[in-house]
Amino acid sequence: MAVMSCRSMVTYKGGGRMALRACGLFGAREMGSVAASMETLVQQGWRVGEEGGGGGGGGGGRRVVVVERQEEGGGGRGVQWVFLGCPGVGKGTYASRLAKLLQVPHIAMGDLVRQELSQTSSMAKQLATLMSQGQLLPDDIIIRLLSKRLENNMASSQSGFILDGFPRTVHQAEMLEEVADIDLVVNLKLREDALIAKCLGRRICSQCGGNFNLARLEMEESNSAPRIFMPPLLPPPSCASKMTTRADDTEEVVRTRLRIYYEESKPVEDFYRGYGKLLDFEVSGGIPETWPRLLAALNVDEKHTNHDSSHKMAA
Ligand SMILES: Nc1ncnc2c1ncn2[C@@H]1O[C@H](COP(=O)(O)OP(=O)(O)O)[C@@H](O)[C@H]1O
């Protein structure tokens, strides 16, 4: 089997065809783990082949290794959705709820990064510094973490995903487009003064990992910004004494993250708008008000959680 210097990403193609593509974009370091994953997949009955190649030889060309299997029963795959939006907009909150409802994994890039930082690897300190300054992390690190996560999903036969925090640059979006058929991109929006207040009010329980928010937002309509009313999301008594704050949720760093979002991630909205995949959604209230509106916008029925469609945007 020709697994050349490669990293891997997973894509689930239409009609239940599932593919893992390993491409020569990111150097040889991951070759061992990709090869190991391939072996596991073959043992699980996947067919392994190679697509493409070319690119001028010399090791610089791209090779794509495809692993596929017809899913039993011919059922559709789970949704492949992306959540975009500024820090504090609620990507994690709504992406995780939807993932649970639609029975697909919620892949939060920020969580994968924080897990990596909790290890005592040599690169953790470097990443922590960048992150605490509100900077984006290098693509090779992000792709490695995401690839590993997607491979784990595939190895445990999980279909579909809701991605939150990836892609954040047009380059990342282009890479994702090469390996996955994204059905829908949900672009959450919230006025900037509310975003800052929400980041500053964010708290995490050090024991259970639950996310809460102490901010109570009541903002009148001004200029083009809509009126906002958002009650706080307070912790239960069992968590109240264990509240922690993310190191990058200070006002200075939040403003840097917002600036980087406008510079680097805003163009990702246009990228997906160009593909007709972008759904803009204005957040204007708390979860009880926003959740049913979001489900309606997505055409998801909470009572019928056996959602079998890939939910493409209507043409
Ligand atoms: N796709 C990505 N590309 C580069 N860096 C990322 C990416 N996703 C997460 N990070 C890093 O992890 C940090 C935290 O991400 P996240 O929890 O999603 O925060 P946010 O609240 O800013 O959306 C980011 O500020 C960045 O340093």
Q: Compute the distance from residue 41 Cα to the ligand 1 centre, in Å.
A: 30
In the block, tokens 């210097």 appear at 5
Establish whether residue 24 lines the binding site of ligand 1, counting it when its CB lies within 6 angstroms of any ligand atom. Answer: no
Q: Give the pLDDT confidence score for residue 41 in this predicted structure.
A: 60
- For a mutational test of ligand 1's pocket, the pick from 84, 91, 127, 137, i.e. the residue with the most ligand atoms closer than 8 A to its C-beta, is 137
Lowest mean pLDDT among 24-28, 98-102, 127-131, 262-266: 24-28
Establish whether residue 198 lines the binding site of ligand 1, counting it when its CB lies within 6 angstroms of any ligand atom. Answer: no
- Residues 6-40 have pLDDT tens digits of 233 333 333 333 334 433 333 334 444 455 566 66
Atom of ligand 1 nearest to the CA of 135: 27
Establish whether residue 179 lines the binding site of ligand 1, counting it when its CB lies within 6 angstroms of any ligand atom. Answer: no
Atom of ligand 1 nearest to the CA of 109: 8
pLDDT average, residue stretch 115-132: 86
Which domains, ranges and CATH numbers included, belong to the chain? 7-74 (no CATH), 80-298 (3.40.50.300)
Establish whether residue 136 lines the binding site of ligand 1, counting it when its CB lies within 6 angstroms of any ligand atom. Answer: yes
pLDDT average, residue stretch 109-123: 86
Establish whether residue 196 lines the binding site of ligand 1, counting it when its CB lies within 6 angstroms of any ligand atom. Answer: no
Give me 149's structure tokens. Answer: 């996560």
Question: Is the pTM of the predicted complex or chain greater than 0.80?
Answer: no
Q: Is the peptide bond before 232 cis (omega within 30 degrees of 0)?
A: no
Give the helix/strand (H/E) hosting 212. strand 211-213
Q: Compute the distance from residue 307 Cα to the ligand 1 centre, in Å.
A: 29
Q: Give the pLDDT confidence score for residue 47 in this predicted structure.
A: 60
- Please give the biggest Cα pair distance in the chain: 62
CA–CA gap between residue 159 and residue 223 (Å, rounded): 44
Tell me the ipTM for this assembly: 0.97
Atom of ligand 1 nearest to the CA of 199: 21
Q: Give the pLDDT confidence score for residue 120 in this predicted structure.
A: 78
Atom of ligand 1 nearest to the CA of 164: 18
Establish whether residue 166 lines the binding site of ligand 1, counting it when its CB lies within 6 angstroms of any ligand atom. Answer: yes
Q: Compute the distance from residue 236 Cα to the ligand 1 centre, in Å.
A: 27
What residues are labeled active site?
91, 168, 202, 246, 257
Q: Give the pLDDT confidence score for residue 15 in this predicted structure.
A: 30
Lowest mean pLDDT among 7-21, 37-51, 250-264: 7-21
Q: Give the pLDDT confidence score for residue 2 in this predicted structure.
A: 25
* Strand 18-23 with 161-164, pairing: unpaired
Lowest mean pLDDT among 9-23, 167-181, 195-209, 274-288: 9-23
* Strand 184-189 with 278-282, pairing: parallel
Q: What are phi and psi of 233, to 5 degrees?
A: -110, 90
Residues 6+ apart with CB under 8 A from 37: 8, 20, 151, 154, 155
Percentage of the chain exceeding pLDDT 90: 60
Q: Compute the distance from residue 137 Cα to the ligand 1 centre, in Å.
A: 7
Establish whether residue 109 lines the binding site of ligand 1, counting it when its CB lies within 6 angstroms of any ligand atom. Answer: yes
